[in-house]
Amino acid sequence: MYISGPVTVSYNPNNQFLSGDDGLDRFGDFRFSSDAAFPGTPTVNLSNGAILEHKTSFGGDADGMWSRLDMGELNIDNATFRRTGDRANGFVGGAGIFSSFNEHANAVKVITLTNGGRIDNDGQWWFGVSGSTAAGENPANTRAVMTINNGHLDLRGGDAYELDNDNLPLRADLAFIYDWKADADPTNDEFFAINFTGPGDITVQGDEAAPLDGDTSTGGGGIRVATNTAVSGPSNYGSDASIQRSYQDLWNMGILRANSKSGLTGDNFNTYFTTTNLPGQANYKLTSLLPSPPPSLKNKGDYNNDGVVNAADYVLWRKTMGSTTNLQADGNGSLNIDAADYIHWKYNYGAPPPGSGSDLTAAVPEPGTIMLMLVGLSTVWVFKRR
């Protein structure tokens, strides 16, 4: 999917008159799903001032419509992805779920914000999801990474309505949800990260004084981390139910990163970030101190940084396949060398240096030892878990 130019594309799920579990809900949520056979797809690309918005307006679910963002890539380059509610009529934006249920094992999903690209979310933003069955929880070994290089993540407003997916009540602007181990894995096997590679910021809100549902029992606003590894059952906050997590906490956990570094690598948070206000306060903001990196064709497959995309880059990708430490060939920004990085190389073979004015998307034959057919798939699921 490509949306480019100064244009706004609005998706109103309330126009999809599908019968829900009460016979009244309009379950026309905005949904993409990946397929294990086609790594790196489907891809959504927004650029050149484009705006893609997902609305919850009068007539939708009271707790908002839930976007299931399971595309292989969402690239927002000088563009905006916006999720909105209709507070005047008592409707909020629901949940934007980055890596959702009913996905396949070993799924890899990335979101990139570049050149002023932004996500504006009037609702909750989840990395992962909790379920009461194996099909409803995070798939095994799921990987969801957001990369920010001159990008903005505005998540204020998530506690206007408590959202409950399979007995996990959430009231937060930003949540990282590790699954409940229905897959019998003794440790959390998800990998969630927000990795800054240049300037940018994240803003969350504190408690909302008068949430639309009138319920403040689970605490509100800010950042939450939900997990349960001790016993089988849905993820929960445990002692974190009323604790506002800080950006420093995310850094220490390895969730927040700067050029793939974090507290887990022994690096200092203050070297890379500043914060405005405190956890739980209004406009709690993280600002990256990283400078803009020099122009590069890395996301086009130039993994050895010699200015062209050629066979040498393929060799580097092949030699580092599976690495989480040598990230020279990480074209999609997943912080792991995987099949999607091969796709970035394949479809830009022969690309010239930045600024040459040549087309960087022409496909040419790849080495005969590897054959990979790529198909973009969008799958619409016909139910929403609640």
Task: Please name every residue paired with 201 in a beta bridge, in sequence order, or none if there are none.
Answer: 152, 287
174 inside domain:
yes
User: Residue 353 domain-assigned?
Assistant: no
pTM: predicted TM-score of the whole model, two decimal places: 0.86
pLDDT at residue 58, as a whole number: 72
Q: Provide the CB-side half-sphere exposure for 363 (13 A, CA).
A: 10
On whether residue 240 sits in a domain, the answer given is: yes
Q: What pLDDT does residue 230 have? A: 53
Give the pLDDT confidence score for residue 113 in this predicted structure. 98
**DSSP symbol at 91:** B
Are the beta carbons of 9 and 53 closer than 8 angstroms?
A: yes
> Per the structure block, which two tokens stand in for 89?
């009529």
pLDDT of residue 260: 95
Residue 360 is predicted with a pLDDT of: 37
Assigned domain for 334 exists: no
Full residue range of the structural domain in which residue 268 is found: 26-288
| Residue 385 forms part of a structural domain | no
Residue 339 scores a pLDDT above 80: yes
Q: Taking a C-beta distance cutoff of 8 angstroms, is the pair 98, 69 a contact?
A: yes
Q: Tell me, what's the pLDDT at 278?
A: 93
198 inside domain: yes
Chain position carrying tokens 């009231």: 171
Rounded to an integer, the average pLDDT of 188-216 is 88
Q: How far is CA 221 from CA 140, 155, 216, 218, 359, in A?
A: 29, 10, 10, 10, 44
What pLDDT sits at residue 108?
93
CA neighbor of 227 nearest in space, from 253, 208, 202, 196 = 253
Residue 365 lies in a domain: no
pLDDT band at 361 (very low <50, low <70, confident <90, very high): very low
Mean pLDDT in residue range 130-153: 86
Q: Look at residue 177 and tell me whether its pLDDT is greater than 70.
A: yes
Q: What is the pLDDT of residue 371?
A: 31
Q: Provide the token pair at 207.
A: 């408690």
pLDDT, tens digit, for every residue of 76-103?
Answer: 999 999 998 888 888 888 899 999 887 8
Q: Is 185 a residue whose pLDDT tops 60?
A: no
| Segment 109-141, tens digit of pLDDT | 999 999 999 999 998 999 998 776 666 778 888
Torsion of CA 351, 355, 361, 366, to 10 degrees: 10
What does the alpha-carbon distance between residue 32 and residue 125 come to, in Å, rounded to a whole number? 16
Question: Which residue from 177, 270, 186, 266 is spatially nearest to 232, judged by alpha carbons?
Answer: 186
In a 3-state reduction of DSSP, which class is residue 71? Answer: coil
In this predicted structure, what is the pLDDT of residue 356?
A: 46
Domain count across the chain: 1
Q: What is the DSSP letter of 83?
A: E
> Considering the domain boundaries, does residue 307 fall inside one?
no
Q: Convert the pLDDT of each residue in 277-291 to its tens digit.
A: 999 888 999 999 999
Residue 381 confidence class, pLDDT cut points 50, 70, 90 = very low
How many other C-beta atoms lie within 10 A of the C-beta of residue 274?
13
